[in-house]
Structure 1
Amino acid sequence: MNAVETEVDVVKTPVLIVGGSLVGLSASLFLGRLGVPHLLAEKHAGTSHHPRGRGNNVRTMELFRVAGVEDSIRAAASVLAENHGILQADTLSGAEQEWLFKEIDPGGALAKFSPSGWCLCSQNDLEPVLLHRARELGGDLRYGTELVSFEQDADGVTALLRERDGGAERTVRAQYLIAADGPRSPVREALGIGQTGRGDLFHNVSVTFKAKRLADVVGDRRFIACYLTDPAGAGALLPVDNREQWVFHLPWHPETGEELDAFTDERCIAHIRAAAGVPDLEVEITGRAPWHAAERVAERYSAGRVFLAGDAAHEMSPTGAFGSNTGIQDAHNLAWKLAAVLGGWAEAGLLESYGRERRPVAVATAARAAERSAEHRHPGYAALPGAGRQQNVLAVALGYRYAEPVIPEKFEPGRVVVGGRAPHRWLPDGRSTLDLFEGSFTLLVSSPQAVDSGAVPLQVVEVPGVEGAVLVRPDGFVAWAGEDVGEVRGVLEGLLGR
Structure 2
Amino acid sequence: MNENVVHRVPVLIVGGSLVGLSASVFLSRLGVRHLLVEKHAGTSTHPRGRGNNVRTMEIFRTAGAERLIRDAASVLSGNHGILQAPSLTGGEQDWLFKEIDPGGGLARFSPSGWCLCSQNDLEPVLVGHARALGSDLRFSAEMLGFEQDADGVTAVVKDRETGEHTTVRADYLVAADGPRSPVREQLRIGQTGPGDLFHNVSITFRSRGLASVVGDRRFIVCYLTNPKADGALLPVDNVERWVFHAPWKPELGETMEDFTDDRCVAHIQEAVGAPGLDVEITGKAPWHAAERVAERYGSGRVFLAGDAAHEMSPTGAFGSNTGIQDAHNLAWKLAAVVRGEAGPGLLETYEAERLPVARATSARASSRSQEHSHPGYAAPEGPAGGPRGGMLTVALGYRYGRGAVLGAGPAGPVVPERMGLTGEPGTRAPHLWVRRAGTRVSTLDLYERSFVLLCDADRPEWRAAASRVAERLGIRLDAYAVGAGAGADLEAEEGGDWAAAHGTGADGAVLVRPDAFVAWRSPGAVEDPETVLYDALTALLHRD
Q: TM-score range by the shorter chain?
A: over 0.9
* Alignment pair present for 1:279 and 2:275: yes
Q: Distance in 2 between matches of 1:289 and 1:157?
A: 34
2:71 counterpart residue number: 75
2:316 counterpart residue number: 320
* Match for residue 411 of structure 1 among 414, 419, 423: 419
CA contact (8 A) 2:336 2:342 kept: yes
Q: Distance in 2 between matches of 1:345 and 1:442?
A: 15
Q: Distance in 2 between matches of 1:56 and 1:241?
A: 17
* Alignment pair present for 1:436 and 2:446: yes
CA contact (8 A) 2:292 2:310 kept: yes
Q: Structure 1, residues 333-386: CA drift from partner, whole Å, max 9, x if none?
A: 000000000011100111000011100000000000000001111001011222
**1:9 offset after TM fit, Å?**
6.0
**1:37 offset after TM fit, Å?**
0.2
Q: Distance in 1 between matches of 2:273 and 2:515?
A: 49
The code of the aligned residue for 1:445 comes to C
Q: What fraction of aligned residue pairs are identical, expressed as a percent? A: 67
* Alignment pair present for 1:490 and 2:535: yes
How many positions carry a matched residue from both structures?
491
TM-score (norm 1): 0.97
* Match for residue 213 of structure 1 among 209, 214, 220: 209
Q: Distance in 2 between matches of 1:305 and 1:437?
A: 26
- Secondary structure of the residue aligned to 1:231 is coil
Q: Distance in 1 between matches of 2:275 and 2:380?
A: 35
CA contact (8 A) 1:91 1:233 kept: no
Q: Distance in 2 between matches of 1:387 and 1:270?
A: 34
1:4 counterpart residue number: none
Gaps of 5+ in 1: 1-6
Q: Structure 1, residues 152-206: CA drift from partner, whole Å, max 9, x if none?
A: 1111100000111121111101000000000000000011000001101111110
Q: 1:127 to 1:17 in 2, by over 3 A?
A: same
* Match for residue 424 of structure 1 among 424, 428, 431: 431
* Alignment pair present for 1:15 and 2:11: yes
The code of the aligned residue for 1:319 comes to T
Q: Structure 1, residues 87-140: CA drift from partner, whole Å, max 9, x if none?
A: 001111111110001111000011111000000000111111111010111111
Q: Structure 1, residues 255-305: CA drift from partner, whole Å, max 9, x if none?
A: 222222111111100000111211111111111011111110000001110
* Match for residue 470 of structure 1 among 494, 507, 510: 510
Q: Distance in 2 between matches of 1:269 and 1:255?
A: 23
* Match for residue 367 of structure 2 among 371, 375, 388: 371
1:225 counterpart residue number: 221
2:502 counterpart residue number: none
Q: More deviation in 217-226 or 257-266?
A: 257-266
**Considering only aligned residues, what root-mean-square deviation do their CA atoms show, in Å?**
1.2
Q: More deviation in 255-264 or 194-203?
A: 255-264
* Match for residue 461 of structure 1 among 480, 503, 509: 480
**1:495 offset after TM fit, Å?**
1.2
* Match for residue 391 of structure 2 among 375, 378, 393: 393
Q: Distance in 2 between matches of 1:470 and 1:397?
A: 23
Gaps of 5+ in 2: 402-411, 484-496, 500-504
2:409 counterpart residue number: none
Where in structure 2 are the equivalents of 1:217-366 lying within 5 Å?
A: 217-366=213-362
- Secondary structure of the residue aligned to 2:360 is helix
CA contact (8 A) 2:5 2:169 kept: no
Where in structure 2 are the equivalents of 1:153-172 lying within 5 Å?
A: 153-172=149-168
Q: Distance in 2 between matches of 1:249 and 1:127?
A: 21
- Secondary structure of the residue aligned to 1:93 is coil
